[in-house]
Structure 1
Amino acid sequence: MSLANKSIIASALLGVSFASHAITPIDTSADPKEGFSGSVGLGLKGKSGGKDEQEYNISLLGRHVAGERTLLLVTDYNYGETNDKKDEDDLFLHTRWIQNNFFRPSLDLEMFAQYQYDKFDDLESRKLAGSGVRWRFKSEDDAGVLNTTFGAGGFVEEEESESTGETESNWRGNFYGKWVWDRKGNFPFKLYGRLYVQPVLDDLGDVRATGNGGIQFSITDTIALSFDAEVEYDSEPFDEADSTNTEYGVKLSYAF
């Protein structure tokens, strides 16, 4: 590894040490290779003095590709303490099975399941399972490649409140759009974004939405630095939860 690359990685690590909360990974690969591949990220943040703070994050995006079939796993875990008192503990776990070109070319079938909790946003657990279809589009010119995906479907979910033990079950629609622009040239990078809108089917005023995106720079063939932001909105959260949450941060990841 060159001295220049070592210097860049050292600077990146310093940036990660001062990062805010981590963001759930986005799969930016349009044409993943056969077999196993993915990326893993690790974030650390600390502060000492009048107030001692420690925050830890680990995220994993793994996939297995066999012909037209892809199995995707996304995990993200955050833990934090201030003055030896836990003030952050949340987990996101999502798995998705995709059959490309199931209905016709570029029109795919998806099936997915998800589990998550956030102890400090009044979410004891959220469990869901569903399916849908997605449309893939690709355009390319001398500047780069733009991959766009639109999805539609539905799922059944069960949520439990941390503070009251209240449980809610709903059928929700699932509508999303994702785009990744892979810039070519002497200064390549990836610019990406994603938006999910999930209304309750028998009460369209009860809507949950998530939007996130960022920019990723390759430091080496396997190490990348990304700057990300995410906004989550729930029109009818549990009593002790906020309706809107915003996160942002820097992430260093290793691809395999």
Structure 2
Amino acid sequence: MTKLGRIALTSLLAGASFQAAAIVPIDTKANPEDGWSGNVGLGLKGKSGSKDEQEYNVNFLLRNVKGERTALLLTDYNYAETNDKKDEDDLFVHGRWIENNFFRPMLDWELFAQYQYDEFDDLSSRKLAGTGVRWRFEDETENGKLHTSFGAGGFLEEEEAESTGEEDTNWRGNFYGKWVWDRNGEFPFSLYGRLYFQPVLDDLGDIRATGNGGIKFGITEDLALHVEAEVEYDSEPFDEADSTNVEYGVKLSYAFN
């Protein structure tokens, strides 16, 4: 680790409070090499005195690339207590299988499955599985390189409410856009974002949408600082849940190959 990296890391650990936030990790690596790679992030926050608080967040991204095939696993877990009373507990797990250039160059096939729960957003469980296609585009200038992808497909979803046990099963469309801009120069960084739009196919007024993104600064070759935000919208949430949730946070991530 360079001297600058050690100074930056020490300052961050000494002065920053890492907000536990259920923000789904984004794969910012556009063209990973064959083999295993990924990154892991950790957030910790605490307070003691008149009010005791503890917040924990762990997330990781694991990928395996072999030729045109990519297997990807994303997870995010958050837990928090205030005065020994749990007030946050949520988990997100997403697996994806991608066959690059399956239909033609830059047009890929995807299979995916997902599981999540959020005790304090009235979600006992959400399970889904689906498929789709993805178009990829690249544009390089002297200032950096832009990677963009657009996806379209569908999935079968089962949800269960925490408060009432109500179950809901739907076929949803799945439309998304994702972009990553890697800036070159003396102070390089990455800007990234993603937007999902998921209507119920037999009731187009029942819509779920998610947008998240952030900026990543490299501290060392493997260690990075992320500032991120996420907005989730559900037009027909369960009774005890809000239709819109906004989260933001700061985290450190370590990339491995």
Q: TM-score, normalised by structure 1?
A: 0.98
Structure 2: distance between partners of 1:15 and 1:37: 30
SS at match of 2:190: strand
Question: Is 2:230–2:246's contact at 8 Å kept on the other side of the alignment?
Answer: yes
CA pair 31-67 structure 1, distance change in 2 beyond 3 A: same
Question: Is 2:20–2:44's contact at 8 Å kept on the other side of the alignment?
Answer: no
Structure 2: distance between partners of 1:121 and 1:59: 19
1:21, distance to aligned residue in structure 2 (A): 2.0
1:15, distance to aligned residue in structure 2 (A): 5.3
Structure 2: distance between partners of 1:191 and 1:55: 26
Structure 2: distance between partners of 1:213 and 1:234: 19
Partner of 1:9: 9
Structure 2: distance between partners of 1:22 and 1:3: 32
Deviations for 1:7-33, whole angstroms, at most 9, x for unmatched residues? 101222245534252521100010001
Query: Which residue type is aligned with residue 240 of structure 1?
Result: E
Summarize the alignment of residues 62-77 of structure 1 with structure 2, pairs less than 5 Å apart.
62-77=62-77
1:49, distance to aligned residue in structure 2 (A): 1.3
Summarize the alignment of residues 181-192 of structure 1 with structure 2, pairs less than 5 Å apart.
181-192=181-192
Structure 2: distance between partners of 1:144 and 1:14: 32
Partner of 1:29: 29
SS at match of 2:32: coil
Structure 1: distance between partners of 2:43 and 2:37: 21
Aligned length: 256
Summarize the alignment of residues 41-190 of structure 1 with structure 2, pairs less than 5 Å apart.
41-190=41-190
Cα RMSD of the aligned pairs, angstroms, is 0.9
Q: TM-score, normalised by structure 2?
A: 0.98
Structure 2: distance between partners of 1:213 and 1:238: 26
Question: Is 1:22–1:251's contact at 8 Å kept on the other side of the alignment?
Answer: no
Structure 1: distance between partners of 2:37 and 2:113: 20
Partner of 2:194: 194
Query: Which residue type is aligned with residue 168 of structure 2?
Result: E
Structure 2: distance between partners of 1:125 and 1:111: 20
Structure 2: distance between partners of 1:128 and 1:20: 25
Structure 1: distance between partners of 2:216 and 2:172: 32
Unmatched 5+ stretches in structure 1: none
Query: Which residue type is aligned with residue 188 of structure 2?
Result: P
SS at match of 1:39: strand
Question: Is 2:2–2:220's contact at 8 Å kept on the other side of the alignment?
Answer: no
SS at match of 2:182: strand
Structure 2: distance between partners of 1:253 and 1:14: 16
Runs of 4 or more off by more than 6 Å in structure 1? Answer: none
Partner of 1:231: 231
